[in-house]
Structure 1
Amino acid sequence: MKSGSSKPPRVLLLGVEESPALPIIWSLVRRSVAVTVASHRRICAGMLSRFPARRRICPDPVKSSDRFVEWLIAEVRTGEYPVTLACGEQATYLLSKHKPDLAPHTSIPIVDLDVFMTCRDKSQTMTAAAECGVPTPLTWYPEDGGIESVSADATYPAVLKPCVSDGARGISFARSPDELRRLYPPTRSRYGPCIVQEFIPHEGMQYKAELLLDRSSRVKLGGVYAKLRYYPPTGGSSTLNQTVRRPEIVEQGARILRHLGWYGMGDCDFIVDPRDGVAKLMEVNPRFTRTIRVLVEAGLDFPYELYRLAMGEVPRETSAYSLDIFLRYLPADLVWFLRSKDRFRTRPSFFRFIGRDLFYEEWSLRDPLTGVGFWFVLLLDMVDPLKRRSRLR
């Protein structure tokens, strides 16, 4: 991973306390791109990686967003960074929001703010999917028709979801109209506007489609992986993923992204409805997902091709990647094992920890200190009630 040039191009990578930072760093440095990493944490996986050219401490984008933006504008005004990338929801949001102020100084390959907000809000995402014919679960909108009307029309069991939330936070299940009417007010009060969706049986496999689109919304890279295990076991964030070939899911993801006028990375979540065999869209994320490493290891180099796109080059176009590559998130997989009734029946076995086709989200043997940084941050987050719920959602 040594640079082949005395003055390699430089990238500013924000939010390197987040999981996607590691495959981004490894990908770019392998291609002789010098990476400056930035985080509000001095000790985290990205800051302890041995590959970044430089490290910067910045304000916390969640707790001090104004100070973070001020720092960022001052940093890119130096003219040292042809490209700026971000990991994590908040840093990506701030890049999109302030792109007009940053664009004269650095290239930011992220969707514009209006598209970002459409994806952040599940009600807008579901509406956009309906407009372009991408299948979704049946969806009702209490903000439009009121909860009394929705509770009478919905099918049961029904799923109550905040329009804006991370992972499974705020999601609840109602088995009757009365239960839905009871659950709605406290959920609406705590999380804001909500939608109601039909319940898709958990027997259906969950998939993620990752796509890279150019400035004309043409797909350059696309791949799919299956969420073999997730926590909570009834549906949540993945703990073990496997690359698979599902071109129809790539096409459905591309359809909604093109409809939105997409540019850059797109992450689309689907679940196959076992009642009709149709893959149905659950959400869209305009950022690197934490599990992107599984497709990078399979041969789809999203970070480097996104960098080339930002530099005005033509990204390599391919849909070829290795199948049956596995990515594991060990901390959550351990919790899954403790909570799941399928702990001894799961395939591949929970007890398979080593393999040439098996990678870990939180560390790598070629960059061992990243594991120290990851576990340090995880332990700190476990003593913070809010962050603990976010980690184990």
Structure 2
Amino acid sequence: MSISPRDVDLVLLGGDIGVYALARAFHEQYGTVSTVVTRSVSGPVADSRILRTIELGKDATEEQMAQALLRVGEEHTARRRAAAGGSPDPRTRPVLLANADWLVALIGAHREQLAQHYHLPILSQQLFDAVSDKATFSRLCSEIDVPTPRTVVLDFSQGGPTAVPELDLGWPVVAKASRSSAYTHVSFPGKRKVFELADRAELEDLVRRLDAAGFRDRFVVQEMIPGDDTAMRSVTAYVDSAGEVTLLGGAHVLLEEHTPGALGNPAAMITTDLGEVFDAAVRFLEHTGYRGYANFDVKVDPRDGVAKFFEVNPRIGRNNQYMTSAGANVARAVVADLLEERRMPQLRPSDEILYSIVPRPLLWRYVRDPELRRRARRIARHRTVHPLAYGPEGVKRRAYVSAAMANQVKKFLTHYPRPTDDGF
């Protein structure tokens, strides 16, 4: 059963590019002016005409964030009750979303209270723990023949000193937290999202720093898959309440971000049909009983041509605008599922676009394959999309986007001045 666009409401926790892209998708499709609850109102969500912000302060605790969400939910419920003259239609509850693992985990930890006021298209706690853990993810993939890099797990739960086993992965290796939600609050010199480690001495040094910082979760050490950023692929999906994959799309990554805290986030991509990669992603979603939004990171191994799955993010991902701009508005799937309570035919992107947060001259510097560069240039002439460049916004927003693009040049010249064979 369809509902009026004015009944579609969205509350977002956090304030990054991906959060703005979600607000933009709902505004494009339904005219929704979203509510953003965040510690600090930064550039991606500042001075916007399509959302209102509630700033809690940079030192707000997780409990204070949860209480703020409850207050916002209660206000929405009161308004809906007044408009309905009694009990409001439960379908018109706002959708509550976040776009960072630790914020999704925060929502999940307060699910019972928040569900009284919101639709919560997030995983159960048990499934969230299973799929967001990179170690468990590899095991789940092995059960259904979805390829992943060879992986060794380091367990820091005993409080150190943590033993480093002998590895049979070759050098260099890649190391990263098994659960990003458990890594968020740990601080130590040289902290990065992903580490490239040249030898055992560097691995042992990282382990010592993690022990000293009080890290008490797991780290995964994986074989290095050759290939630069252009070997990466991104898959975005939504699984509805009946277990059907109603949104599915993908992109060929051209360039990733290279600052320590954002390493691996796509900076530029072209939409494309990923064929067997889609089949493997759907197989994983069905095997695990997944629900809600998902974003997979995949790399095509040039040694054998096999697409190897690195992880699934239990959220839509910060690069989700590529889906909406290519004809698969990401808001439609969750609204059909939870507000309209109908099964929607699978929605896939229909257009070729270039999604990019960097100036095109900078981008072409990093795409070394001539054929891929020609293809990307052709698509770029047809349509190039920046997630923050949205027509209804005002002059302050346009100035911010221009400044952010210029700042990307500085970032890349500082952290990744020239392309490398392995993307590090």
TM-score normalised by the shorter chain: which range applies?
0.7 to 0.9
Give 1:62-81 correspondences, 5 Å limit.
63-78=60-75, 79=77, 80=80
Matched residue type, 1:39 = V
Which residue does 1:232 correspond to in 2? 258
Supply the distance in 1 between the matched residues of 2:318 and 2:135 (Cα, whole angstroms): 23
Does 2:213 align with 1:198? Answer: no
Give 1:347-386 correspondences, 5 Å limit.
347=373, 355-368=381-394, 369-372=396-399
Which residue does 1:384 correspond to in 2? none
Q: Following TM superposition, by how much is the alpha carbon of 1:251 offset from its aligned partner in structure 2, in angstroms? A: 1.6
Supply the distance in 2 between the matched residues of 1:349 and 1:250 (Cα, whole angstroms): 22
- The structure-2 alpha-carbon separation of the partners of 1:123 and 1:163, relative to structure 1 and needing over 3 Å to count, comes to same
8 A Cα contact 1:44 1:376, kept in partner: no
What is the percentage of aligned positions where both structures have the same residue?
A: 21
- The structure-2 alpha-carbon separation of the partners of 1:154 and 1:301, relative to structure 1 and needing over 3 Å to count, comes to same
**Which stretch shows the higher mean deviation, 301-310 or 42-51?**
42-51
Could you tell me which runs of 5 or more consecutive residues in structure 2 were left unpaired when the two chains were aligned: 81-91, 157-161, 185-190, 408-413, 416-423
Q: Following TM superposition, by how much is the alpha carbon of 1:37 offset from its aligned partner in structure 2, in angstroms? A: 1.6
Residue by residue, what CA displacement relative to the aligned partner does 1:66-105 show, whole Å, maximum 9, x if unpaired?
1111111122123146122323214333222211111122
* Alignment partner of 1:186 out of 184, 187, 209: 209
Which residue does 1:51 correspond to in 2? 50
- The structure-2 alpha-carbon separation of the partners of 1:261 and 1:353, relative to structure 1 and needing over 3 Å to count, comes to closer
Supply the distance in 1 between the matched residues of 2:400 and 2:125 (Cα, whole angstroms): 32
Matched residue type, 2:341 = E
**Which stretch shows the higher mean deviation, 84-93 or 130-139?**
84-93
Q: Calculate the TM-score normalised by the size of structure 1.
A: 0.80
8 A Cα contact 2:22 2:320, kept in partner: no
8 A Cα contact 2:23 2:34, kept in partner: no
Does 2:91 align with 1:83? Answer: no
8 A Cα contact 1:96 1:112, kept in partner: yes
Does 2:313 align with 1:288? Answer: no
8 A Cα contact 1:15 1:86, kept in partner: yes
Which residue does 1:383 correspond to in 2? none
Matched residue type, 1:67 = Q
**Which stretch shows the higher mean deviation, 355-364 or 19-28?**
19-28
Supply the distance in 1 between the matched residues of 2:371 and 2:331 (Cα, whole angstroms): 36
Supply the distance in 2 between the matched residues of 1:274 and 1:158 (Cα, whole angstroms): 17
Q: Secondary structure of 1:142's partner? A: strand
Supply the distance in 1 between the matched residues of 2:241 and 2:59 (Cα, whole angstroms): 29
Which residue does 2:85 correspond to in 1? none
Which residue does 2:83 correspond to in 1? none
Could you tell me which runs of 5 or more consecutive residues in structure 1 were left unpaired when the two chains were aligned: 381-387
Which residue does 2:421 correspond to in 1? none
Which residue does 1:308 correspond to in 2? 336
Which residue does 1:211 correspond to in 2? 237
Matched residue type, 1:154 = L
Q: Calculate the TM-score normalised by the size of structure 2.
A: 0.75
* Alignment partner of 1:158 out of 150, 167, 173: 173
Supply the distance in 1 between the matched residues of 2:109 and 2:367 (Cα, whole angstroms): 44
Does 2:24 align with 1:26? Answer: yes
- The structure-2 alpha-carbon separation of the partners of 1:122 and 1:11, relative to structure 1 and needing over 3 Å to count, comes to same
- The structure-2 alpha-carbon separation of the partners of 1:334 and 1:128, relative to structure 1 and needing over 3 Å to count, comes to farther
Matched residue type, 1:205 = A
Supply the distance in 2 between the matched residues of 1:378 and 1:93 (Cα, whole angstroms): 31
